Amino acid sequence: MRVVIQENYSKMCRWAANYIANKIRDHKEDRPFVLGLPTGSSPIGVYKELARMNQAGELSFANVVTFNMDEYLGLPHEHDQSYWYFMHDNFFDHLVDMKPENINILNGMAEDPEKECEEYEKKIASYGGIDLFMGGIGVDGHLAFNEPYTSLTSRTGLRNLTTDTRIVNSRFFGNDPEAVPAQALSVGIGTVTDSKEVLVLINGHNKARALAATVEGGVSQKWTWSALQLHNCAIIACDEEACGELTVDTYKYFLDIEKAERL
Ligand code: GLP
């Protein structure tokens, strides 16, 4: 696992956007580049930078297919807290050549959510899998909506949200945890680790415990992103604030070995 530490959030986002842009540009195969995407506040700076590059003619999304990580159960597209709405508002609506038919987001209003999830897995497979999955992390370490103790080999399916996650996400629902949907559709941990590459954004003091557990703890279902320790091509991009719980030794090691990446 690589850990690329940047001085602050904006540099972390710039570095991650450049990394993704280069992967898309270098993709020469005769099939689309398949990109997995998260919601949350962490990726917003990355989306802004990718959209800027796209509008400036520096990066095309014409040959990119996207798959989002998750969606709340029971929220229609037009709900301003649905992840469909978030993705269009923060990213897709700002791209000049993204094809709407290449955008895949789990449907939180599906009549048969389990079938919706099975079809999602099949669709990912039909493209030959995901080339690069970008992710964020919950304060409890959750990956998409895979809460602690979800199987590290889980596939896309229906998930129950913990009270902790509903409290954290209630900031978007008038600070009322009860207003946060209790269930969501989510890719599995196995769905993400099957991707050729995984890039996780971890920023801010409130993610320090999760970062340390993911990098320094053992592989454990308690900290779901720790599954990345078994992945051959995984990168964590983080800011200094998130490094507060790393041992000095780990922190210095990654600063040293990744010094060429420091912006
Ligand atoms: C939600 C999403 C996760 C995301 C997490 C962190 O729970 N389902 O995929 O990683 O929020 O969000 P933020 O980046 O706002 O801290």
Query: Closest Cα to atom 13, ligand 1: which residue?
Result: 40
Cα distance between residue 207 and residue 11, in whole Å: 17
Q: What is the mean pLDDT of residues 102-111?
A: 98
What pTM did the predictor assign? Answer: 0.97
Q: Would you say the C-alpha torsion 80, 69, 141, 260 has a positive or negative sign?
A: negative
Overall average pLDDT of the 235-259 stretch = 98
pLDDT band at 124 (very low <50, low <70, confident <90, very high): very high
Q: What is the mean pLDDT of residues 11-21?
A: 98
Q: Which of 12, 39, 70 to mutate to test the pocket of ligand 1 (most atoms within 8 A of CB)?
A: 39
Establish whether residue 137 lines the binding site of ligand 1, counting it when its CB lies within 6 angstroms of any ligand atom: yes
For the chain, the domains span: 2-261
Question: DSSP states of 180-220 as a string?
Answer: S-SEEEE--HHHHHTSSEEEEEE-SGGGHHHHHHHHHS-SB
Tens of pLDDT, residue by residue over 59-70, are: 999 999 999 999
Nearest CA to ligand 1 atom 1: 40
* Residues in Cβ contact with 247 at an 8 Å cutoff, skipping those fewer than 6 apart: 212, 216
Query: Residue 145's pLDDT is what?
Result: 96
Q: Does the CB atom of residue 181 touch ligand 1 within 6 A?
A: no
What are phi and psi for residue 35, nearest 5 degrees? -115, 125
What is the C-alpha separation between 64 and 225, in angstroms, rounded? 25
pLDDT of residue 143: 96
What's the gap in Å between 73 CA and the centre of ligand 1?
16
| CATH entry 3.40.50.1360 includes domain 2-261 | yes
Residue numbers annotated as active site: 70, 140, 142, 147
Mutate to test the pocket of ligand 1, among 12, 42, 191, 239 (most ligand atoms within 8 A of CB): 42
Q: What percentage of the chain has pLDDT greater than the value 90?
A: 99
Structure confidence at residue 253 (pLDDT): 98
pLDDT band of residue 131 (cuts 50, 70, 90) is very high
Mean pLDDT of 168-181: 94
Instruction: Compute the distance from residue 165 Cα to the ligand 1 centre, in Å.
Output: 9
Q: What is the pLDDT of residue 258?
A: 98
Q: What is the pLDDT of residue 19?
A: 98
Average pLDDT, the chain: 97
- Kind of pairing between the strands at 64-68 and 70-72: unpaired
